[in-house]
Amino acid sequence: MSDISRRSFLEAGLAAGAALAVGKITQEGRAEAGENFYQSPEVQFLIQNLAFELDNSTPQCRESQGELPKPVAKIVEEMVALQNAHDSIIARGRIPGPTDHAALWEAGNKLLNRHVAYSEEKFFRLLLQDIPKILAEHGVWVTIGADKATDEHDKVVARIPKFELRRIHKVKNDSLMFNGREYPRQIVMVDQLVINGASVRRGGNIEEAHNARNSIVLDEGLLRAVHDERIQKRPQYLVYFADKDDAFMWNHIAAKSGSEQNKWATIGASQRLMRIFYTQTFSNFNQEANSIAHESGHLLHRQSSSYQADFMPQPGVRSASQEAKLENEQSARAESYGAVGHLLFAKDKVRALMDVVYISDEAHRNNLTDAGHQVAAENLRAAAVEEILAKPEYYGLQFRNDSGISEKNQALFFLPSLALDPPKLEHLARKLYERLEAKQKPGLGVLPEHNVTSSQSATKPGLHRESAPGPCTGGAGEVTIITTAVIAALGLLHRFGRRKQEVEKAEQKRDVHKKRKRKR
């Protein structure tokens, strides 16, 4: 799940989500709002639990039949109005309260034919339990997340539900067989919602694929865009890989030592896999099928014995920075399940292995969820190398002892070869799944301290927006393929010396600027 980029606002984001600062609760705002606008720890915990319960239920989704009945359309209108009002409310440094909730409270209870007095608890039950179920039955998918408010002491003082609304245009119910067990699966295709002739704002918060409420939710338009982007990029990759075979990378790795050798073995593995993808197996690429396979891995997690322990909300007051650390750990563990599911269920094994053997060429549009993907990839790579080293003959690895490359790095560079041997790759994927279920290291349970933060995860006091980590995130399309620009920046290709020169010039300018400042 961020900015408020594509992966945000997924249901479990209320239970656990990565935060980004979007405002600040000031002393003036607190004085204006009064203590009534500040939630008690009990209410915050209630919101987390309600969201967790919602995310672990399976909605009765129906395909949209066109215009919504007026009472249902009224709820949508009030949800959109409240969502739009949040920005101005937050800008004034306060938390939405009863006055802000009144119109939606009235519309929801009118539809349910209920006559009850307002309370915070009842309002959040309406918003997080009743309304999503009602709208799903009328062809509207509700994706829920939260703004997280903190005070100047980094204490979380409120959680403000946020939501996205999408039209359900297709629903498919089937099941997934794994290890002799049948896993029910609901695939929901969504697109733009239109009310009274106007499109309900998307806000850039919907992933092309995500997993929530025991359902795989796919946005066909976004899936098509990701698919087309890969097709458009293919010609430049064909040119790039024309003169870069395995020997090219092998020699580059052999010239390094220590941690540098490990770094370049990782880069080399990524390059090998990319070359296979674009030059040998590209005709197998299908973004929708890949996304379903990845999200199916999240379904396995949801229905595993460890899921409740991994994501069940815990009472108690924590600082925003403590929550951010926990959320990154949860995201990495959940994305490990998504990556393993991709390996197990995708026909396109080369693309599936990119969830494990990949290097991000830039901060993803959602930096916070990318932290989960990055750590999951690092952990799974390490675990895969351990498995290969334990049985090199089975996997087909022949060590070259005179190469100067460590056995570990040889195994890492060998890993992409398994994408062309599906039975052995599936065997490896099952071993990784067993590690996940057993929470074995490296990194598949509790994460190393240095792995759980990213440039965006250090939380600052203020109002923060959560995205959903782990179970509801997904999107095989999130894996960003390493590009020629990054390779040039790393110095791998001498032909891209111009980029290197630009970097050097920028560094020289910074050095000159620092010297001038020191002189002053």
Give pLDDT, residue 7: 29
Radius of gyration of the chain, Cα coordinates, nearest whole angstrom: 24
Residues 373 and 377: their CA atoms lie apart, in Å, by: 6
Q: Worst-scoring range by mean pLDDT, 41-50, 145-154, 306-315, 464-473?
A: 464-473
* Whether this model's pTM surpasses 0.85: no
Reported confidence tier of residue 489, pLDDT bands at 50, 70, 90: very low
Mode of pairing for the β-strands spanning 181-191 and 215-219: parallel
Q: Collect all residues with Cβ–Cβ distance below 8 Å to 108 and sequence separation of at least 6.
A: 75, 126, 127, 130, 131
Q: What residues pair up with 187 in beta bridges, in sequence order?
A: 172, 216
DSSP 13-46: GGTS-EEEEEE---HHHHHHH-GGGS--HHHHHH
Residues 287 and 278: their CA atoms lie apart, in Å, by: 14
What angle, rounded to 10 degrees, do the helices at 246-254 and 407-414 form?
160
Per-residue pLDDT of 316-357, as tens digits, reads: 767 888 888 888 888 899 999 999 999 999 999 999 999 999
User: Which stretch, 6-15, 283-292, 382-391, has highest mean pLDDT?
Assistant: 382-391
Residue with tokens 């379904």: 299
Residues 321 and 383: their CA atoms lie apart, in Å, by: 29
Give yes or no for residue 33 having a pLDDT over 80. Answer: no
Reported confidence tier of residue 202, pLDDT bands at 50, 70, 90: low
Residue type, 242: A
Burial class (CB in 10 A: 0-12, 13-18, 19+), 21: middle
Reported confidence tier of residue 186, pLDDT bands at 50, 70, 90: very high
Give yes or no for residue 399 having a pLDDT over 80. Answer: yes
Give yes or no for residue 282 having a pLDDT over 50. Answer: yes
Give yes or no for residue 498 having a pLDDT over 60. Answer: no
> What percent of the chain is modeled with pLDDT above 70?
72
Residue with tokens 């099941």: 175
Give pLDDT, residue 463: 44
Residues 85 and 290: their CA atoms lie apart, in Å, by: 37
407 CA to centre of own chain: 33
User: Which stretch, 24-33, 270-279, 358-367, 469-478, has highest mean pLDDT?
Assistant: 270-279
329 CA to centre of own chain: 12
Per-residue pLDDT of 413-461, as tens digits, reads: 999 999 999 999 999 999 999 999 987 544 443 322 223 222 233 333 3
